[in-house]
Amino acid sequence: MKKALELISECDDRSYSRVRVVTHYVIDMNLPGYFAEYVRGFKICLLDLKRIEEKLSAEESLTNVSAMLIVSCSVNGALHSKGIQSPHLRERIASLCETEAIRFGCIAREWERKVALLESDISEGEALAGGEVCPRIGEN
C-alpha cells in the first residue's frame, strides 16, 4: 500500500491532497464482497488486497489498482466531510467515486509511460557516454 500512496503523491497532486485530508489510515483486511470500503467515522480506507490481486488482469498492477481504489475512497470521504451523503444520492456518489478513480488511473498510466521513456533515454545516454553512470531519479 505504501507504493500505491507513493504513486498517488508522485503523479496527481489533487488526489494526493484529498487522500491526506480525508484518509488517516489505509488498512488491508478481508472484506466479504468488496474490494474497498471507506469507514467515515474513522477516516479509514479498507482494501482487500488478496481479493484485488485474485481479480487482476495481466495488464493491471496491484499498485495501480490499489491507488485507484484509495482515490475512490478519498472522494467518498471528501463528499461525506462536506455533508453530501444520503440514500437517494448513493448511485451518483458511487459514479463520481468511480469516475475519479478512472481519471486517476489514466493519469498514472501516462505518468508511468513518461517515467519509462525517461529511464530508457537515460540508459541510452549512459551507453553513448562511454559507460559514464548518471544517477537515477531518487538515488543519492
The amino acid occupying position 11 is C
Lowest mean pLDDT among 68-77, 85-94, 95-104: 85-94
Element counts in the chain: helices (H) and strands (E): 5, 3
Hey, how many other C-beta atoms are within 10 angstroms of the C-beta on 5? 18
Helix (H) or strand (E) holding 44: strand 44-47
The predicted structure's pLDDT at residue 87? 87
Contact 72, 97 (CB under 8 A): yes
Question: pTM above 0.85?
Answer: no
pLDDT level of residue 138 (50, 70, 90 thresholds):
very low
Segment 11-53, tens digit of pLDDT:
999 999 999 999 999 999 999 988 999 998 899 999 999 999 9
- Rounded to an integer, what distance in angstroms lies between the CA atom of residue 132 and that of residue 125? 9
Report the percentage of the chain scoring pLDDT > 90. 62
Helix (H) or strand (E) holding 32: none
Hey, how many other C-beta atoms are within 10 angstroms of the C-beta on 118? 12
- Rounded to an integer, what distance in angstroms lies between the CA atom of residue 69 and that of residue 75? 10
The amino acid occupying position 14 is R
The predicted structure's pLDDT at residue 59? 76
